[in-house]
Chains A and B, each alone.
Chain A
Amino acid sequence: MIEDIKKYRYTDGKPNLRRFHQARWDEPVIFELNQPGQRGVLLPATEAEIKEEVGDVLATIPETMRRKQPPALPEIAQAQVLRHYLRLSQENLGADLNVDIGQGTCTMKYNPKVNEQLSRLPGMAEIHPLQDEDTVQGILEIMYRFERMLKEISGMDRFSFQSQAGSQSIYTCAAIMRAYHQANGEASQRDEVITTIFSHPSNAACAKVTGYKVITLYPDEDGYPDLIALKEAVSERTAGLMITNPEDTGIFNPKITEFVKVVHDAGGLCFYDQANANGILGITRARDAGFDMCHFNLHKTFATPHGCGGPGGGAAGVSKELAKFLPVPVVGCDGSRYFLDYDRPDSIGKIRSFYGVAPVVLKAYAWVMSLGAEGLKEVAQVAVLNNNYLLKKMLEIPGVSAPYAAGKHRIEQVRYSWQDLYEETGISSEDIGLRAADFGLHYWTSHHPFVVPEPNTLEPTESYTKAEIDEYVGVLRQIAQEAHTDPDLVRTAPHNSTVHRIDDHDPLDNPEKWAVTWRAYQRKLKQK
C-alpha cells in the first residue's frame, strides 16, 4: 500500500516544526587547502614585443620599495576555491533562505532577483565613474529619477546618494548640521545633539564624530519619547535633534511635530532617521512633520540586498534651505541632458568616493518602478499588518511581553521582552536566539544598552506569508516551552547549526589570545 508521508508532517491540521539542519561542512580555514604550485586563475601575459621594449621595469623601483618574497597566500586550483566558498555560503543563512523576521530593525525583505540581474548588466557593472557625462546619461537618469521619487516620498527638496549605508547618511546629515551652524556663526555655541535611547546608536556616534556632545533621552512611562525631558534638554547650545521614528520599539512618536517645534524654537535643526520607514511609505512624510533632514537605508526599505553587511545604500535628504550643504556632486538635469553638479561652494565636500553605490540606487529605483504609488503604500500597510499580527501571536506565548504603549498597535516592528520567561526558567533572550538557529531562523536581541530587559526585536516586513509568520512564532513558542521542560537543551544550543556554542569569550577579548588573522593565530600558537 502506498504510504501517506504527508500525514506525519501535520498535527491537528497544522504543520509540524521544520526538522532543520544547517549545512555543516566542517570546512578548514583556506590556508589549509594550500597545495604549492597550484593556480586558481591565469592572467593575460605581457606580449613579447612589450617585454622587449620596456625591459626590466621592476628595476625602476628601488630595492627598498620592492617585495622580496611573494605573499604567503594559499595556492589552490579553481574548483577547489569555488567549492570552499560554496560550502561557506551554505553555512550562511541568507534572507532568501529563511523566514528572516528575526533581525528586527534590519528590514529583511525580499530582494527581487530581477533587480540583481539588472545591476549586473554591462550598462551598470562596466561603467567607469569618471567617464564623460555624455557617456553615462543612463545611470545619471536613474539617479535623477530616483531622487525625484525620494523627494516625493519624504517631502524633502534634495537628496544625495553618496553615502554607502545608513550610518554614513546619518553622519552626512550631522556634518550638514555643523556646516549650517558654522554658516550662521553659531558653531562654537551650538555643541550639543539630542537623541533618544531607542534611536539607532549611530545617531549618537555620528554626532560625536562630528564634534558634538550627545544628550540621550529615555522614554516616558508609556514608552513614548519624553517631551518634558526634551524641553529640559534644549538650550542655546542645541545644534539639533537626531531621532528615529518610529523608534526601534515600533512605537510612532505622536508628538513628533511638537518635538520638532521645541528644537526649532531653540534654534536647532531636526534630523529624521528613517531606518524604520518601511511601515510609513505613502502614509506620513518627514518634511510634513517639520524635519530639516532625513535619510533612508536603500538596503532596508528599498529592497536592495544587505550583502552580509554592505554595500548598502544611503540616501540623505534635506530641505531647500540646507540643499547647498549636500556633498558634491549632485545630479542635475538641464531639461534634456543629465549632469554632475560640482559648482556648490557651500558643500560639506566629499563623504565617499565618486557618487555612492550606483548599482544599489539602480536596484532601489527598479523596486519602486515595480510597485508605484499604490504598491509602496501596500508595502507599508502590509508590513504593519504583518507586524501587528505577529504581535498578537507573540503575546499568546507565555513568558513574552511587549513593554510600553500597552494595548496600542505598533508600526513595523516590536521590541519584545522575555523577562518573565527568564525569571521563571533562567533562560535568557540570548539563549533563545541560539536555539532559534536550530530551526534555521535568525533572532536578534537589541542594541545596547538593554533598556528593555531580555529584549528581542522582530520585524516581519511585507515579504512573508501568514504561514511563515506562524512558523516563526511556532518556533519561539516551542523554545519557550523547552525553557520549562528541558532548559539544558536550550542552554547548550545550537545543536543543528554549523557550529556549536562558543562558551569561552576570552580568546576574543584577551589581547594575548585574540587572532584577527590566520598569521596572528599561528604566531600566538607558537608562542604558547
Chain B
Amino acid sequence: MNQKKSVVYPYIPNSEPAIKKQMLAEIGVSSIEALYADIPEALRLKKALDIPEPFLSEYELVRHVEEILAKNKTCKDHLNFRGAGCYQHFVPAVCDEINGRSEFLTAYAGEPYDDHGRFQALFEYSSMMGELLEMDVVNVPTYDGFQAAGTSIRMASRLTGRKEALVCGPISPDKLSMINTYCSPDISILQIDFDPGTGQIDLDALEKAISKKTAAIYFETPSYLGLVPIQGKEISGLAHKNGAECIVGVDPISLGILAAPSQYGADIVCGDIQSLGMHLQYGGGQAGFIATRDEEKYLIEYPSRLFGITPTTVPGEYGFGDVAYERTSFAIREQGKEWVGTASALWGITAGVYLALMGPQGLTEVGQVVMEKSHYAARQLAKIKGLESPKFTGPFFREFVVDFSQTGWTVSEINSALLEFGLFGGKDLSQEFPELGECALYCVTEILQQRDIDRMAAAVKEILK
C-alpha cells in the first residue's frame, strides 16, 4: 500500500475528501468534473501544470523565499543615495501598524455601511492632503505619480477641448514615456527644455510654444533632477493668458517648506505619495494623487473615486459616500471618464496616518532637514577635485546632480566602487540624459546622518584618488 494520500490544504478547507463528497451529493453530481460541463473537451488541459514542486509546509515555504530574498542587498544594510522617484524617508511604526491591520489590509469594495472605516480614513487622507496642497478636492489615490500626471493632462484636455500639452523642464524619461503612451490617441505632448546652467524651465521657449491649441502646461517641483522652479507665477500666468490649465507635479513631502502650487496659480496638482510613509518595496509603494479646486467643471473630470461627507438618518453621525459617482466607468462604462478600479487605497490610508503623525511641525521640519542635509552633501562632494556639485545653480530639494565628467570615471564605475564601501551611489543619469555627460542624481533625506554623508563623500574621494 503505497497510495499517495490526498493533501488537505490549509487554505482550502473543503479539500477534505469527506466534506467534498457530501457537497457533491447535495449538488447532485458524482464528481467535480461534471461541474465543468460547459468547457469543451478540446479546451481542457490534459496534463498537469509544469510548475515547481510546492513547499506544503509553511516553514519550508519561508525558508525557500527567505533564501531567495537573501540575494538582495538592502537599503537597511547599505547607505542609500538613490531616489529618482522612490524615496527612502523615515516610516513611522504606526504607519506599518495600521496598513498591516487585517481590517484594512484584506478589505476591498464594501459599502459605506460595512466598510465605514475605509471611507472615513480615505476622506481624512484627502482632507489632510487638501490642507497640504491648499486645495479642496483630492482623489482617492490612483496608481502612481505617472498615472496622476497622465490623467491630469487628459482632464485638462477635456476641460479645454484642446489637444496639446507642454511638458516643461527636466522630467523622468520613464514618466514621459508613460504620458506619451497614455495621451497619444488624441493629445500631442511637446517638451520644453531647461536651461543647462540653472536647470530652470526655458520661459522663452515656453512662450514661443504656447498657443490657443495648448490644453495644459505641466511642470514639476521638485523636478526629476531635484530642482525647484522659481517661475511658478510666470508659468501659470502664461497658461491662463492662453486659456490653458496649469498642472504642477509635486512631492507632497516638500510642502512643509515649499509653497503649495495653488498659491502660484496651479489649477491641477498631482504627484506621488510614496514619500508619505511607504517603504521602498522595489517601487511597490508608489501611489498617485490629483487635486483641484472645488469647481464642478473640475470635479466631474476625475476618473477616480471621490469620497464625500454626508449626514445619515441619525443626527450627528458622519456618513461617507461616493461623490458624483455617475461620472465613473463603474457607472457608465466607456462613457465615463477614463476608468476607475483597484489602485492604491491602502497607501492612501497610510499617507493619512503619516500626515496625522507629522502634523504641521513635522512637515515643516522634514522639509527643512532634507534641505539642510542635501545641501551639506552637495557641498561635501563639491570639495572633491573634478566634481561639479551641484551641477545646476538653481535651488534644489532633496536631490541634486553631481557631474563626474572631469574625473575620467563613469558614474557606473564609481557606483560599482561605492558598492564595495557599502553604499548605493546616486542614480546614473548618463543613459537618460546623455547630453549631461557622466552625471549622477544624489538623493539625501532626513534619515541620513552627518556621518553617513561624510562616509559617502570620503568613499567617493578615496575612489577618485
Contact = CB atoms under 8 A, between A and B. Distances in A.
Contacts of B26: 389, 392
Interface in B337-369: 338-347, 349, 352-353, 355-366, 368-369
Interface stretch (B239-247, B316-324, B455-463): B316-324
B45 A71 contact: no
A378 B104 contact: no
Nearest to B151: A209
A306 B107 contact: yes
A88 B121 contact: yes
A235 interface: no
B186 interface: yes
Contacts of A369: 52, 54-55, 61, 64-65
B270 interface: no
A161 to B, nearest CB: 10
Contacts of A284: 39, 43-45
Given A135-B73, A139-B72, A505 B321 contact: yes
Interface stretch (A316-324, A413-421, A496-504): A496-504
Contacts of A167: 339-342
A508 B419 CA distance: 54
Contact of B137 (A353, A374, A389, A516): A516
B359 A75 contact: yes
Interface string A489-528: 0001010011111111101110100111111110100000
Q: How large is the interface on A (under 10, 10 to 19, 20 to 34, 35 or more residues)?
A: 35 or more
A96 B103 contact: yes
A44 interface: yes
A283 B39 contact: yes
B72 A120 contact: no
B232 A202 contact: no
A308 B107 contact: yes
Interface in B279-334: 279-284, 286-287, 294, 296, 299, 305-314, 317-319, 321-326, 329-334
Nearest to A50: B376
A447 B143 CA distance: 22
Interface in B25-43: 26-29, 32, 34-40, 42-43
A442 B110 CA distance: 6
Contacts of B143: 164-165, 168, 310, 352
Given A118-B66, A138-B72, A498 B116 contact: yes
Contact of B185 (A76, A152, A210, A372): A210
Given A41-B92, A93-B107, A448 B64 contact: no
B92 A40 contact: yes
A327 to B, nearest CB: 9
B171 interface: no
B447 interface: yes
Contacts, number: 727
> Which of the listed residues B116, B230, B355, B376 has the most CB atoms from chain A within 10 Å of its own CB?
B116
Given A132-B415, A349-B181, A516 B306 contact: yes
23 contacts: A29-B127, A30-B356, A41-B94, A43-B369, A53-B379, A89-B98, A89-B117, A94-B101, A94-B105, A121-B66, A137-B71, A138-B69, A149-B52, A283-B45, A309-B109, A309-B346, A311-B344, A369-B64, A441-B114, A448-B331, A462-B11, A508-B324, A517-B123
Given A72-B131, A517-B136, A354 B85 contact: yes
A92 B282 contact: no
B74 A127 contact: yes
A206 B258 contact: no
Given A95-B107, A128-B80, A308 B282 contact: no
A425 interface: no
Contact of A205 (B283, B333, B415): B333
A93 B103 contact: yes
A409 B103 contact: no
Interface stretch (B172-180, B202-210, B402-410): B172-180
Interface stretch (B13-21, B162-170, B212-220): B13-21
A95 B282 contact: no
Contacts of A409: 27, 29, 34-38
B164 to A, nearest CB: 16
A418 B42 CA distance: 36
Given A57-B375, A58-B368, A519-B136, A514 B308 contact: yes
Contacts of A448: 330-333
B159 interface: no
> Which of the listed residues B24, B26, B28, B136 has the most CB atoms from chain A within 10 Å of its own CB?
B136
B357 A131 contact: no
B309 to A, nearest CB: 5
B319 A171 contact: no
A89 B38 contact: no
B1 interface: no
Nearest to B318: A29
A257 B43 contact: yes
Contacts of A362: 65, 69
Contact of B450 (A49, A125, A130): A49
Interface string A335-366: 00000000000001111111111111010011
A511 B317 CA distance: 22
> Which of the listed residues B19, B27, B138 has the most CB atoms from chain A within 10 Å of its own CB?
B27
A84 B101 CA distance: 13
Contacts of B306: 516
A100 to B, nearest CB: 8
B280 A75 contact: no
A127 B280 contact: yes
Contact of B427 (A93, A126, A130): A130
Contacts of B7: 374-375, 378
A91 to B, nearest CB: 4
B370 to A, nearest CB: 9
A368 interface: yes
Interface stretch (A11-19, A109-117, A262-270, A480-488): A109-117
Given A81-B94, A507-B308, A518-B130, A65 B230 contact: yes
B356 A73 contact: yes
B358 A382 contact: no
Nearest to B339: A205
Given A118-B65, A128-B86, A520-B137, A508 B356 contact: no
